[in-house]
């Protein structure tokens, strides 16, 4: 299962914020912001800080995407 933060980036655009603004407002490390940018998993604590700063719910910033199942075709 993959994680997508597209909702977070759209929310930042709606709030006229940049990644550096998010980092400053939440107190997150740049390493965490980089992980978010790369679509890598982050801790629940990071997500909670973002939600608190943006006054939103975790479902508003993150989405889980299922990987397509590999089909093994037997003939």
Short-list 21, 13, 3, CA closest to 58? 3
- Give residue 68's pLDDT band: very low, low, confident or very high (50, 70, 90): confident
**Full set of structural domains in the chain with CATH:** 2-65 (1.10.260.40)
Q: What is the mean pLDDT of residues 57-74?
A: 82
Q: What is the pTM of this model?
A: 0.83
Short-list 45, 12, 14, CA closest to 28? 45
Q: What is the pLDDT of residues 18-55, one digit of tens each?
A: 999 999 999 999 999 999 999 999 999 999 999 999 99
């Amino acid at each position: 299962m993959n994680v997508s933060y597209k909702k977070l980036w759209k929310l930042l655009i709606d709030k006229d914020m940049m990644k550096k603004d998010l980092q400053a407002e939440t107190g997150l490390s740049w390493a965490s912001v980089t992980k978010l940018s790369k679509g890598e998993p982050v801790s629940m604590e990071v997500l909670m800080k973002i939600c608190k700063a943006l006054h939103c719910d975790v479902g508003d910033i993150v989405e889980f995407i299922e990987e397509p199942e590999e089909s093994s075709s037997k003939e």
